A = this chain, B = another copy of it.
């Protein structure tokens, strides 16, 4: 099959926010499918925030796009030619086509679309963003009826999925969105109980006050895909045992708007990119495990299999000085006061 493939490449790495000159449109002859391959005409391409990360040359969860390489992305399209079983010309499929008019991919990397659904749903509500909301909320958010959920970028394809699932499970759902129109969509179209316009608040503190009014019982789940001001606003409102699934930090992509001394964005980026699990815990919540601990460790301590050190201060009146020294690392081993 002859014809022209048009694609958009990465012309150079963006300095901060991408600008049009970072991209370049190039054309070339259509590729010829090999055995096992499928040639397709892309009808719709998905644009997603994660693509911003691929434009940088830093270690991330996926390879960077090379300079001159096609911008990565999921597309849906129509099969033009198939050199593998299971795909026929005219079939609607989805796969990682990149930002391109056509794609030639192994059949194993394509999925046929359900013809009863609009093909674009495969890119959004039933695609990666929808899956992100569904998996992340159930697995990391662990929603329970009666709890309160706050969602950043709430009218986006991830946030709107999260809000609707949570609402259906009996949570109070609060949207953060940019501008009155998106706030209206959040409540009217996506059923959020309340929507807060972050653009109407200059400071994290002012945004926090608005969220606090909408969340009188505090926040149990903060769906974090933004970073920046919303994160700073919500954090002090979190309830004990709250959950924060982190699947993005769009406010901090590109390194803009970050105070020089603020280590939080770098930390948050590590949590996201490395899928870290950070768990605050307080031992007073876990005293019920004391008997199990004692049966496990007691005999080991008695046998001398577990070493321990004690640093003993003498007399009650020595306690303050010993305490002050301990906070500065002045003790060696468990600090005890012998009375």
Contacts and interface: CB of A to CB of B under 8 A. Distances in A.
Contacts of A209: none
Given A46-B334, A232-B263, A309-B185, A280 B276 contact: yes
Contacts of A243: 276-279
A175 B243 CA distance: 29
Contact of A49 (B242, B317, B326, B339): B326
Contact of A47 (B238, B281, B319): B319
A232 to B, nearest CB: 6
A153 B17 CA distance: 41
A1 interface: no
Contact of A124 (B178, B191, B236, B308): B308
A271 interface: yes
A213 interface: no
Interface stretch (A30-38, A79-87, A143-151, A282-290): A282-290
B281 A319 contact: no
A15 interface: no
A244 interface: yes
A20 B281 contact: no
A241 B278 CA distance: 10
Nearest to A46: B336
Nearest to A198: B329
Nearest to A226: B329
A200 interface: no
Select the residue from A130, A320, A335 with max chain B CB neighbours within 10 A: A320
A212 interface: no
- Stoichiometry, as copies per complex, reads 2
A132 B309 contact: no
A46 B129 CA distance: 51
A284 to B, nearest CB: 7
Contact of A277 (B126, B277, B332): B277
A28 interface: no
B290 A131 contact: yes
A166 interface: no
A70 to B, nearest CB: 11
Interface of A: 6-8, 17-20, 22-23, 25, 41-49, 51-52, 61-62, 71, 99-101, 114, 116-117, 120-121, 123-126, 128-132, 134-136, 139-140, 153, 155-157, 160-161, 164, 178, 181-182, 185, 189-191, 231-232, 235-236, 238-247, 250, 253-254, 259-264, 266-267, 270-287, 289-290, 293-294, 296-298, 301-302, 306-310, 312-313, 316-317, 319-324, 326-329, 332-339
26 contacts: A8-B316, A8-B317, A18-B324, A41-B339, A45-B336, A45-B339, A47-B335, A117-B298, A117-B302, A124-B308, A125-B308, A130-B308, A135-B289, A140-B279, A155-B309, A157-B334, A161-B308, A178-B329, A232-B263, A235-B266, A241-B275, A243-B279, A244-B279, A245-B281, A246-B279, A262-B263
Given A47-B322, A126-B293, 18 more contacts: A17-B324, A18-B320, A18-B323, A41-B339, A43-B339, A49-B327, A61-B240, A100-B316, A120-B334, A124-B334, A139-B286, A156-B334, A181-B332, A235-B267, A238-B274, A240-B274, A270-B280, A278-B278
